[in-house]
Amino acid sequence: MATLPWTAPKQAPPAAGPVTVLASRLELRRLRDVPAFFTAALRIRRQMLAAPGAAGLSLIAEPTRRTFWTLSAWQDQAALRSATGAEPHLGLMKRFRPVMAGSRFVTWTADTVPVPWDEAKRRLADPDTVHGNG
């Protein structure tokens, strides 16, 4: 397992107050897709850290389990939508959709960053809070 720890963007942090949090669990169908997916995840990580409104992010990669976990915090929902709707995130997610075994996403509001991974995983495990395919 490889963890890229919580990293805040180099630009000025967002104003004090609550943040919008996105956590995801992404599972691939085949081991052979892991290297390309991990490379894409690193490209997206760079994009997100440069995106306006980003408050921070972290990634856990479990390559032998074909599973990736993401955790990010945003100034607001609009900043999150703007970042995930831009390239390269948008194109890479479309490219990898056919090789995904399942995806789970959850968003919520938090008062502080960094957001703890145990909170994110607890929320991702709760079927009443998650959306995704699989």
Instruction: Identify which of 92, 100, 24, 109 has the alpha carbon closest to the alpha carbon of residue 66.
Output: 100
Provide the CATH number for the domain around residue 128: 3.30.70.100
Structural domains in the chain (count): 1
Position 129 scores a pLDDT of 78
Position 127 scores a pLDDT of 82
**pLDDT tens per residue, range 21-69:** 999 999 999 999 999 999 999 999 999 999 999 999 999 999 999 999 9
104 within 8 A of 25, measured Cβ to Cβ: yes
CA distance 134 to 15: 36
34 within 8 A of 109, measured Cβ to Cβ: no
Token pair for 82: 């703007």
For residue 34, the enclosing domain spans 2-133
Position 134 scores a pLDDT of 53
49 within 8 A of 96, measured Cβ to Cβ: no
Sorting pLDDT into bands at 50, 70 and 90, what band is 1? confident
**pLDDT tens per residue, range 71-102:** 999 999 999 999 999 999 999 999 999 999 99
Sign of the dihedral defined by the CA atoms of residues 73, 78, 79, 80, in that order: positive
